[in-house]
Structures are given as structure tokens and as C-alpha cells.
A and B are shown apart, each in its own frame.
Chain A
Amino acid sequence: MTSTAAGPAYRAPRRLGGGGRRPDNSRQIATRERSRTLRATAFLAPAVAVIVAFVFVPAIVALRLSFTDASGFGEASWIGLDNYATVFTDPATVRAIANTVLYAAMYGPLVIAVGLGAALLLNRRDVPLRGFFRTIIFLPFVISMAVASLAWAFLLDPNLGLIPYWLGGLGIRMGDVFASTTWALPAVTAVAIWKNFGYFMVIFLAGLQGIPRYLYEAAILDGAGAWRRFRAVTLPGLRATMTFVIVFAIIGAFQAFDQIYIMTQGGPDRATETIVYRIYTDGFRDFRMGFASALSYVLLAITLLLGLIQLRVGTKRERDLE
């Protein structure tokens, strides 16, 4: 999920130390090493067995399925790249991919901006009741997207909801957002932002704690105003956090499913169908498992690409710091 490159490099110095043990001869070294490998294998085996069986093998099986017309019943036949051709030419599927990209393009910047805004407010030491505010703002983290979706569907219901009612009181007429091909996707995005921005806030708070105070003091002495300090001290200080958060938000956005399943079922007129929603409906409702697997591989490729970008930026950053 996160980086990654820190792993092996981080570990290196201790290895060189060899644990301080100095074996007498090579045979002893070999025996010790074998016994260590044996013990390590025993510790790793149960978890690795699960991961091989339910991640590694399925990844290979999905690849094979994606070249077939598997339906879950009877024999599947090999159809080469047909499924992939369909993914990129079938208008409904292309639309689902475009919806997902649009969703990510709205969700990513907004959830980060709102999260950062809340973090900046909460990071001030002269604010009373910080703990209380933090608790309340982070609360949606433990509430399932399914429940959040039910609550927002109720709040936004044009015939029953408090929000259309209150807006009506202000003279704003609000139709049924979930019946609008324009507004349904922003609406399901907004629910995800509502549920997740507290999470981003907490990550930003941790990042803000890492910015040394003297930088702000120096900026004040130089006469920098609030906006200037934000641009010149806060944002650069959050660069590491930002890289992580941006990729994390986008990867998350590409997995959107729950609120769509609950609130819109992909509608109206496919306006809220996303990649994962199509994997679900194609694979498990329409039993086009071969096609769903091809779509899965498109998702996998996008995710790995984003992960690689993060890894590269991460290692570059580490190199820059050295």
C-alpha cells in the first residue's frame, strides 16, 4: 500500500553488523544459516501459503480467464484479446472507465484539499477543544460506506430529505441528484469525500508536526504573511506526505464501488458505473467472467502503474535527501 523502497535499504546497516556473532568456521556458518532459513520458513509458511493461494494464484488465473469467454458454466474457449478489445471499444465499458477517471479527478483533489484544510485549522495550538474536534471529524472513518450511503441517500431524497427542504427554504430548488446524469457522479463522489477526508486530515496532521517551528518563526521575521508562509514553508514541508496521499487517494478512487451499489446501482443511464462496479455486474450478475477478468487486469495495470509512480517518486526523494 505504501512505500516500499524504504524496506531493504533501511535494513542494510544491521545486516552488515552480522549481529555481532563471529562463527569459528565455515561449516558452522553453513549450519547456522541453514537453521535460520529453516526457522524463517516455518514462521513465514502459514501467511505465505494464504497469500500464494489467494493472491498469487488468482492473479495468474485471472490473466488466463481474461483471454477466454468463461461464463462460470461449462467449457470456456480461448478468444485471444477479444475481451480487451471490447473493454476499449464497447461504449458502455469505455464510459465506465471514463466515469472512474472523472470520479478520481474529482475525489483526489477535493478529499486532499478538504483534509488539508481541516488539518491546518486543527494544527493550531491556540484552538480550544482540539481533541473533541479531531474525534468528531475523524468519526466517519469507522462508519461503513454502505451506511454513509444510506444516510446521504435519505438526506438528499427530493421528497423526504432535509437538504432539499432546507435549500428550498433558501429558494434553491434541488431535484433528484441521483436521477440526474450530470449530478449523480458528483453526488457519489461527495459521499466518499465526506467519509474519507478525516483520514487525510490525520495524515496531514502527522505531516505538519514534522515541519520544524523555527521555519515559521524565520518566515515571520522575514515579514511573510499567512499565504506566503503556507506556500513557502507548509507546502514544501508536506511534499513527502503529498506524494503518498495523492497516489493513495487515486488508487482508492479507482476502487469505488460501495456507494454506487447502494445509491445508484450504476445509474441513471450508466452515469455512475465504475470499473469495479462493472467487474461486479459483469462477473457476478451477467456471468461474463472472462470479460470481467480483462477489466480486472485493466484495473490491476492502472493500480500497479500508480504504485510504480509512487515508488519512483519515493526513491527519488530519498536519493535527494541523501
Chain B
Amino acid sequence: MTTTTRPSTRASEPAPRPPRRARGGTRATRVLRQSGVVAGLLVFAALTSFPVLVVVLGAFSPESEVLSWPPNFLPSRFTLDNFDGLAARIPIALQSWNSLVFAGVVTASALVLNSLAAYALARIEFRGRIAVFTVLIAIMMVPFQALLVPIYQMVSALGWVNTLAGLVIPRAADVAGIFLLRQFFITLPRDLDSAARIDGAGELRVFWSVILPNAKPALLTMALFHFVGNWNDLLWPLIMTSDSSVRPLTAGLALLTGSATGVAPYGVMMAGSLVAILPLVVLYLLVQRRFIEGVAMTGMKG
């Protein structure tokens, strides 16, 4: 797309390769091409990290410098004023906690309910299994945005608006999660449960001490995606909560933009953004391989 969209020439490695056809090239051309590739990657890396850096630096900059022209990338001094300003505008600690509880409880419940359902679909040969699975697949395509109105009405009728129940229960299980786990459970060797069954293990025991321990990568992947997805979700908490004391952080941040005093309080917004992304960035850096393999996994099924 941009500069060097060279197709992958893995063949240009020093492997035993006939010396003709200068594609692998002399040492000089190879070094040249390599630096071209590195330059391209640097452009991509700069593109993705630059806005993140701006958020981090902006969060610690004095408000006057954030709102000055010409803008400066590096602040003259570091300050925590923006965080004070943030705390004055939204209940930041409470909303962070709300995010943690919301994303955490959805994830925990999805782990339990989805894996139970996936186990039945993958490991129990009951009649109608294919029918159930087909119906679930059809449902998987329904975007939740299309169901917001009736779901809101139901949640409202149950008196769950502005409660954790309203945020969590409609998302306590989901077809995409069941599908992901089912596809993984099905690849585990049959002998695993046969052996346990011969030892007299019941269904729950096979599920709990045979399948689950062997499915840790898939479970972790699903958990990470659910946690990140819900922590970052905007539309859902925007609709299910109106009281800022029960709002998760992502929806809370949206209120900062609506200050309508002319100039947007960017310093405060950057501080809020930093609080919102920090836990996930740390999580990502700790277990990034799981994230990346998880994405590759979902892509491969296509």
C-alpha cells in the first residue's frame, strides 16, 4: 500500500539455492532490500505508536501546554494536574472499578456458560446436536447493535437499567464464544475422555478435569477477547447506564468531550484515556502471544 509492498521472499534466505537469478542477490542488494523493509516497518510502527505516545505525554503535560499553539510534542515539565482535573469531572476511580467488574463478570460468566455449552456440542453425542449447532451458527451473525431497542426494553422492564445485572446478564453467554471453544474442544483426542470414563468419571468430571485443563489456550483466548471487548465497549454501556456512578470508564470518558465550553479539555481527556488503556496495554504486553495467536485462530476458521 504505502512504499515497499514486496511479496514475501522467504526464499531469499541463505538456504541451498542455485546461485543464478539474482533475486536473492548480492550481499549489497540484500542489505539494501532489508533496510527498505525495516524502513517500511518503522513507518507502520510509528503510525501505531505515535497517537499512543501523544496520549501518554498529553496526560502528564500542563493544561496550558496542551492547549497552546504551536503545539509541542514534549512537555516542558511533568505534572499530575490533568488527573486532578479528571477526578473533578468524572468519578474516575469508581468508573474504573465499574469497568473492571463489568468486563470481569461478563468474562467469568462467559467462560463458565460457553465452555459448558461447547462441551455438550463437541463431546456429547446427543440427538439434535447438529440442529442445535446450526441454529447457533445462524444466530451468531446477528449483530447486537440490531437488537439494542428490544434488549433495552427488556432490561428496562426488569428494572435492570443502571445496574450491573443489566450490563452483564444479556452478555452472560454468547454464540461466538461457544463456537470458538467448540472448535477447540473437538480437536482434543477422544481417548482422553474414554480413559477417564473407564475410571468411572461422570460427565462433569470429564468436563472439569479432562477437557478444561487441556483447553487452556482456547479458554484464555476467549477470556482475553471478552475482557478487552467489554472493557472497551462504548455503545452498550452508553445505553444500559445513565447514572455516572454505575457507568464503566469507556462510556464515562465520552462525557468529557461534551463539556461544551468551546475548547475541549484535551489534557483531562488524555489523562482519562491513559487510565482507560493502561490496564489493557499492560495485559497485552504480558500475554501478547495469546492475543496474536487468538486472532490468527479466529481468522483461520474462515
Q: Which residues of A contact B (CB under 8 A)?
A: 1-4, 6-8, 10-11, 14-15, 19-20, 33, 36-37, 39-41, 43-44, 46-48, 50-51, 53-59, 61-62, 65, 72, 110, 113-114, 116-118, 120-129, 133-148, 150-155, 157, 159-162, 165, 194, 198-199, 202-203, 205-208, 213, 216-217, 220-221, 223, 225-227, 229-230, 233-234, 240-241, 243-245, 248, 251, 254-255, 257-258, 261-262, 276, 279-280, 283-284, 289, 292-293, 296-297, 299-300, 303-304, 307, 310, 314
Contact = CB atoms under 8 A, between A and B. Distances in A.
Contacts of A303: 141-143, 146
Nearest to B145: A276
A97 to B, nearest CB: 14
B51 A44 contact: no
Contact of A47 (B114, B257, B300): B114
A292 B235 CA distance: 15
A140 B48 contact: yes
A121 B280 contact: no
Contact of B124 (A10, A40, A59, A153): A40
Contacts of B300: 206-207
Interface stretch (B76-84, B88-96, B214-222, B266-274): B266-274
27 contacts: A19-B194, A50-B172, A50-B173, A59-B142, A62-B149, A110-B1, A120-B8, A125-B10, A133-B45, A147-B253, A147-B273, A148-B51, A154-B270, A160-B266, A165-B71, A203-B299, A206-B300, A220-B24, A221-B21, A226-B6, A230-B5, A230-B6, A258-B234, A261-B234, A262-B234, A300-B142, A303-B143
A39 B203 contact: yes
A263 B209 CA distance: 49
B6 A299 contact: no
Most chain-B Cβ atoms within 10 A of its Cβ — which of A41, A44, A162, A221? A44
B302 A307 contact: no
Nearest to A144: B232
A296 B148 contact: yes
Contacts of B113: 46-47, 50
Nearest to B136: A51
B9 A124 contact: yes
A19 B125 contact: yes
B192 interface: no
Contacts of B51: 148, 151-152, 155, 194
B254 to A, nearest CB: 6
Contacts of A7: 133-134, 137
Contact of A65 (B127, B150, B175): B150
Contact of A297 (B24, B120, B129, B146): B146
A134 B7 contact: no
Contact of B48 (A41, A136, A245, A248): A136
Contacts of A114: 1-2
Nearest to A292: B149
Interface extent on B, as a size class?
35 or more
A160 B145 contact: no
A280 B145 CA distance: 9
A126 B12 contact: yes
B18 interface: yes
Contacts of B40: 117, 121
Contacts of B257: 150, 153, 262
B302 A3 contact: yes
Interface string B110-137: 0011101101110011111110111011
B10 A216 contact: yes
Interface string B207-247: 10000000000000000000010011111001100000000
B49 interface: yes
B147 interface: yes
A19 B190 contact: yes
Contacts of A262: 234, 254, 257
**Which of A128, A154, A262 is most buried by chain B, counting CB atoms within 10 A of its CB?**
A154
B21 A223 contact: yes
Contacts of B301: 2-3, 6, 244
Contact of A299 (B34, B143, B232, B276): B143
Contacts of B200: none
A234 B88 CA distance: 54
A276 B127 CA distance: 39
Contacts of A283: 148-149, 152
Contacts of A225: 23
B98 to A, nearest CB: 15
Nearest to A17: B190
A198 B48 contact: yes
B175 to A, nearest CB: 6
Nearest to A283: B149
Interface string B274-302: 00110011011100100110011011111
Contacts of A129: 38
